[in-house]
Chain A
């Protein structure tokens, strides 16, 4: 069974704080995608990382793919209440199917 362990599951922080979400697996992925999902909606793509060691930045969000392409992290700098939501990582197998993590529910309090 292919697993992608995402942590933490829940995170409640004050506005302005930094945070990191982790996704770890024993399997190698051809790419890893981060999504954000609002209640009642589908996952919305934030970023795709493909190359081992790759770092991508999206404003205050920094995404990193591990050198071995088995793990990834999402770091948010100076979190804002608008960052509140569910963040999902999903690893892509060579066949294309996505293996999802459990998700991280982030609450940023003003």
Chain B
């Protein structure tokens, strides 16, 4: 069964450095998402992406964050000048069509900021 893949599975970075988290969504899916989950807290929405542009973003998704779909398969989340509070699991998800259709999640990248 097709799946969403994320790399790396674990990223350790010094505070202030830039990180890029990578995702390969399911190939025929059109809508792409990033979520994060801070340890012990809910999964929370960061951003949605459709037709090569951001369609919605949360308050968390400030100028420090950016997303890109550089080619036909990858979907990336860049975090500039990382902070300690950016430490979390970051999940990529994709969806084929209408909002009634389910989102499928990758296994996440654990980001640890030192």
Contacts and interface: CB of A to CB of B under 8 A. Distances in A.
Contact of A97 (B33, B91, B108): B33
Interface of B: 4, 6, 31, 33, 35, 42-45, 48, 55-56, 58, 91, 93, 95, 99-108
Q: Counting chain B CB atoms within 10 Å of each CB, which of A42, A88, A98, A102 scores highest? A: A42
Contacts of B101: 31, 48
Interface string A63-94: 00000000000000000000000001010111
B56 A103 contact: no
A30 B99 contact: yes
Q: Counting chain A CB atoms within 10 Å of each CB, which of B35, B103, B104 scores highest? A: B103
A14 to B, nearest CB: 27
Contacts of B103: 33, 45, 92, 96, 98
